[in-house]
Structure 1
Amino acid sequence: MPVEAFEIAENGGANLKDVDDDGRPRRTGTLITASAHIITAVIGSGVLSLAWAIAQLGWIIGPTVLIAFSLITWFCSSLLTDCYRAPDPVHGKRNYTYGGAVRAYLGDVKYRFCSLAQYVNLVGVTIGYTITTAISMGAVKRSNCFHRHGHQAPCKVSDTTNMIIFAAIQIVLSQLPNFHELSLLSLVAAVMSITYSSIGLALSIAKIAGGGHVRTTLTGVTVGVDVSGTEKIWRTFQSLGDIAFAYSYSNVLIEIQDTLKSSPPENKVMKKATSIGVSTTTLFYMLCGMLGYAAFGNEAPGNFLTGFGFYDPFWLIDIGNICIAIHLIGAYQVFAQPIFQFFENYIRNRYPENGFIHSERIINIPIIGKFPFSPFRLVWRTLYVIITALVAMIFPFFNDFLGLIGALSFWPLTVYFPVEMYKKQAQISKFSKTGIWLNTLSSACLVVSILAACGSVQGLVQALAHYKPFKVS
């Protein structure tokens, strides 16, 4: 029996039936909840830019890149699931976070590099989701305005106001103590993500069926007609970042796996959940990206539900954007909780005697019932939400921001660390056939990430040159 569980039982703190092998409260996650977490994390705002990304790449390279990113994400995520426990993937010691797994397998130096990459990415995603939700909330108002006054009406909305509303909601939800309390939220968010993806898909099919000529090509936007040669290169690079962002979830995989029951083994369940999650999202991505391109051609908007790619039926557009907002309200928490846990554990270990930091009590809330309240959690998490909202207000650039986040996170978090940990665990030699293949994969993905980052930075620079913060548009 592990020492932690024995001590808890001896002190009367819990029945052994209520704790896992590490002494923590027994985990209750299942294949269904893990799959919901993954779908919530993967099918996010990235799906909205895929029609634009395919338009930059064309009919041949676009779908090929989508499938390639899907296979790489699935393969590397499968490797990562075996790293939840160390050194044995079934009976080893648990790693509660992605960074913890890296430290267990690769040591402190790479752990610090991983933590920097992971938390920069997580912060970026929460900012990106704030931007996307505000745009979708504004799109509902614009859609109704266009319906009443015509498509040429100057229907202006304030993204700043919508970001404030979103931030207020997140301040409340951020008081949930940890990841284990998010199962219901993730299930709702997963349903929402599939719903708005299906709406976008249905609208694309309806637009195609309705006729009308749109120009599509095998190689995407045409140099000299749609864009200049330089713009074609930068947009191609940025589209890689947008697609990489669409598959970004490896940075929370270990945290999701830590919610699973210990029987059957977590890695086996998580591999199944990864296959379900990635295959489901790839199906939607292929359909939304390709049919979106078929509907709009080389003029596909950056966000096909808010672009404005569609105007009618306005009520269906509204439902789609409301679903986006609900989904990203939950997805924000999936990505923010690891940040909260990391910072709070660090501060509590740094100041073990501080009463404000460590105080927590149970309060009764009508309808909700008993809820653990911490003054420190309230103050710091509220401050975090406010800061991310302020950054989103200053840089509300949907496509460029998503592309940059995807580019910065894809190689280190999706590919490099899972590959390196697997090589360590399986004791694969650098110069063996498997070692050479894995190193080649990692190197190729590094090049893709660098190119995607360059394209997104160039897009941000261009956008900033003509932007005035906090304006109504």
Structure 2
Amino acid sequence: MKRSHLLERHIHCQFAMAGAALGKSTAIKESFEIAVGDRSRDEFIDDDDDGRANRTGTLVTASAHIITAVIGSGVLSLAWALAQLGWIAGPIVLFVFALITWFCSILLADCYRSSQGKRSHSYKDAVRANLGSVYCKFCGLAQYTNLIGVSIGYTITTAISMGAIKRSDCFHKNGHDAAACEGSTTTDMIIFASIEIVLSQLPNFHKLWWLSVVAAIMSVSYSTIGLGLSVAKIAEGPHARTSLTGVTVGEDVSASEKVWRTFQSLGNIAFAYSYSNVLIEIQDTLKSSPPENQVMKKATSIGVFTTTIFYMLCGILGYAAFGNNAPGNFLTGFGFYDPFWLVDLANVCIAIHLIGAYQVFAQPLYQFIETWSRNHWPDSHFITSEHVVKVPVLGDCPLSFFRIIWRTLFVVATAAVAMIFPFFNDFLGLIGALSFWPLTVFFPVEMYIVRARIPKFSSTWIWLKILSAICLLVSLVAACGSVQGLIHSLRHYQPFKSS
């Protein structure tokens, strides 16, 4: 077997593991394509139907990829979201988002191969093949905007978790009401940014694939710990105050706050369910027989069903534990104080998970900017030159002054925005609102209409368009609620000074 073929197989497997473990990004195939995409097809042995490495994915592996891709930091806000919606609307909204995600994923699975049978290796490839280059550019804008937003959101979440560890230890020593335990997240964001600056300088981050496996374990661990703590809190009593409609107007919130929080909770739930933008990447790991779309539909059903059960448990038990006073992040809002070491462990798991997740989300953006720069200024020594440096464990690592400066500036910029807007629920809601309609609904619906050649104004066409329009409206109101939440939170917040 040729050496280049071995290289491709190696990179393909490692990025597949990274994307499945950390999920919700386009890192898998985009980084893979940049690494080997410019190579001539003749350089590879024709193992598969398009000359790429033979695929070995099955129903079991695809289902596992989906579950680990969906379950992530979004689970932390579900108890708060249900507190805004109540016992009736909360579970219904969770189920409806799961149903829409499942349905649109089924449509997207049929768009993996073009009408000529050609495979799409990434979400953007599928959009380009079915809708053309203009829609592909719109898709790229939506994806890269989402990647930037997630990078900022992960900076906020990690810093809050790092601060929660210190506060938990302080509360354990000085009592739950100790005012001295309140602190700033700014220092924690600087520490997190410093770590990411170092990791960002590694041009071949896929060599740290083991970090993705660890991150997947961390994600399941902190979610399970939160679930267990909720059950323990319910069991010990007294029971928290809950209601059929969620937070009570006049007692918990004003009428206008109730409306805005309801909108914002939709964005938080949308963020928790967004995985469609990596479906094509997961589907591209499946064997060609049986047909990939058939296997992917079964995997989607298994993955979404399993995730929905887990989310229902976390949301419902979290709401039952905290009631209408549920914190925005149920592992850092200090509804749980004891056992303090278990709370600390959960937040350590969050920090480890998101340190690796940040890189998986940022790498496609890094590669896009650097490839674009090399193509526009091919004669620039500053942009194209590489200097090999020996690094313990990693071996020879090529360093570029352009890469050092640009990637450092990106990390600093995301950290600066996070310091200005360190509001967990508001930012997660905004990310979920901005990515839900275009990536989860609009593109799958439009691609399916073209791929299935559905006649314009037919009953199927009309219902698909209505679904897309309703989801657009949901995304808009969720975005408005999140923006209003950011504005409201900023009124009493001093950037770089208080928590």
Specify if TM > 0.5. yes
Partner of residue 70 from structure 1, selected from 77, 80, 98: 98
CA-to-partner distance for each residue in 1:313-362, whole Å, 9 max, x for gaps?
10000011111111112222332233223223322332334444344576
Distance verdict in 2 for CA 1:78–1:374, change over 3 Å: farther
How many matched pairs?
462
Contact in 2 for aligned 1:39/1:190 (Cα 8 Å): no
Contact in 2 for aligned 1:252/1:338 (Cα 8 Å): no
Does the residue aligned with 1:86 lie in a helix, a strand or coil?
coil
Give the Cα–Cα distance (whole angstroms) in 1 for the partners of residues 204 and 54 of structure 2: 14
Show the counterpart of 1:208. 234
Distance verdict in 2 for CA 1:15–1:414, change over 3 Å: closer
Distance verdict in 2 for CA 1:9–1:277, change over 3 Å: closer
Contact in 2 for aligned 1:35/1:274 (Cα 8 Å): yes
Contact in 1 for aligned 2:120/2:280 (Cα 8 Å): no
Contact in 2 for aligned 1:348/1:358 (Cα 8 Å): yes
Residue range with higher mean Cα deviation, 427-436 or 217-226: 427-436
- Match of 2:99, as an amino acid? L
Quote the offset at 1:422 in angstroms. 1.1
Distance verdict in 2 for CA 1:283–1:360, change over 3 Å: farther
- Report sequence identity in percent: 70
Partner of residue 451 from structure 2, selected from 425, 448, 458: 425
CA-to-partner distance for each residue in 1:77-123, whole Å, 9 max, x for gaps?
232234344344xx404343x33332222123322322222211211
Give the Cα–Cα distance (whole angstroms) in 1 for the partners of residues 261 and 152 of structure 2: 22
Partner of residue 116 from structure 1, selected from 127, 141, 144: 141
- Match of 1:423, as an amino acid? I
Give the Cα–Cα distance (whole angstroms) in 2 for the partners of residues 168 and 374 of structure 1: 18
Give the Cα–Cα distance (whole angstroms) in 1 for the partners of residues 440 and 81 of structure 2: 20
Residue range with higher mean Cα deviation, 430-439 or 350-359: 350-359
Quote the offset at 1:415 in angstroms. 0.3
Give the Cα–Cα distance (whole angstroms) in 1 for the partners of residues 302 and 83 of structure 2: 28
Gaps in structure 2 of 5+ consecutive residues:
1-35
Partner of residue 46 from structure 1, selected from 74, 84, 94: 74
CA-atom RMSD in angstroms: 2.9
Distance verdict in 2 for CA 1:211–1:365, change over 3 Å: same
Contact in 1 for aligned 2:45/2:52 (Cα 8 Å): no
- The answer on 1:192 being equivalent to 2:218 is yes
Show the counterpart of 1:379. 405
Does the residue aligned with 1:289 lie in a helix, a strand or coil?
helix
Give the Cα–Cα distance (whole angstroms) in 2 for the partners of residues 378 and 31 of structure 1: 41
User: Which residues of 2 match residues 62-101 of structure 1 at below 5 A?
Assistant: 62-88=90-116, 91-96=117-122, 98-101=123-126
Show the counterpart of 1:217. 243
Show the counterpart of 2:428. 402
Quote the offset at 1:283 in angstroms. 2.2
User: Which residues of 2 match residues 323-342 of structure 1 at below 5 A?
Assistant: 323-342=349-368
Distance verdict in 2 for CA 1:466–1:472, change over 3 Å: closer
Contact in 2 for aligned 1:8/1:23 (Cα 8 Å): no
Contact in 2 for aligned 1:50/1:285 (Cα 8 Å): yes
User: Which residues of 2 match residues 286-325 of structure 1 at below 5 A?
Assistant: 286-325=312-351
Distance verdict in 2 for CA 1:323–1:382, change over 3 Å: same
- The answer on 1:57 being equivalent to 2:85 is yes
Show the counterpart of 2:441. 415
User: Which residues of 2 match residues 424-463 of structure 1 at below 5 A?
Assistant: 424-463=450-489
CA-to-partner distance for each residue in 1:25-73, whole Å, 9 max, x for gaps?
7777776776565445432221111111101111111011111111211
Quote the offset at 1:302 in angstroms. 0.9
Show the counterpart of 2:5. none
Show the counterpart of 2:174. 149
Contact in 1 for aligned 2:82/2:319 (Cα 8 Å): yes
- The answer on 1:237 being equivalent to 2:266 is no
Show the counterpart of 1:169. 195
Give the Cα–Cα distance (whole angstroms) in 2 for the partners of residues 236 and 425 of structure 1: 36
Show the counterpart of 2:45. 16
Distance verdict in 2 for CA 1:342–1:126, change over 3 Å: same
Give the Cα–Cα distance (whole angstroms) in 1 for the partners of residues 208 and 441 of structure 2: 27
TM-score by structure 2 length?
0.84
Does the residue aligned with 1:468 lie in a helix, a strand or coil?
coil
- The answer on 1:103 being equivalent to 2:132 is no
Contact in 2 for aligned 1:52/1:303 (Cα 8 Å): yes
Give the Cα–Cα distance (whole angstroms) in 1 for the partners of residues 208 and 453 of structure 2: 36
Give the Cα–Cα distance (whole angstroms) in 2 for the partners of residues 177 and 399 of structure 1: 32
Give the Cα–Cα distance (whole angstroms) in 2 for the partners of residues 111 and 462 of structure 1: 36
- Match of 1:143, as an amino acid? S
Give the Cα–Cα distance (whole angstroms) in 2 for the partners of residues 34 and 70 of structure 1: 18
Quote the offset at 1:281 in angstroms. 2.6
Give the Cα–Cα distance (whole angstroms) in 2 for the partners of residues 173 and 272 of structure 1: 37
Contact in 1 for aligned 2:437/2:468 (Cα 8 Å): yes
Show the counterpart of 1:135. 160
Quote the offset at 1:187 in angstroms. 2.3
- Match of 1:53, as an amino acid? A
Give the Cα–Cα distance (whole angstroms) in 2 for the partners of residues 456 and 197 of structure 1: 24
Give the Cα–Cα distance (whole angstroms) in 2 for the partners of residues 78 and 412 of structure 1: 16
Show the counterpart of 2:24. none
Contact in 2 for aligned 1:40/1:189 (Cα 8 Å): no
Contact in 1 for aligned 2:164/2:332 (Cα 8 Å): yes
CA-to-partner distance for each residue in 1:223-277, whole Å, 9 max, x for gaps?
222122111111111111111111123334444555x266456555554554454
Distance verdict in 2 for CA 1:332–1:38, change over 3 Å: farther
Give the Cα–Cα distance (whole angstroms) in 2 for the partners of residues 180 and 441 of structure 1: 38
Distance verdict in 2 for CA 1:72–1:411, change over 3 Å: same
- Match of 2:441, as an amino acid? V
Residue range with higher mean Cα deviation, 329-338 or 175-184: 175-184
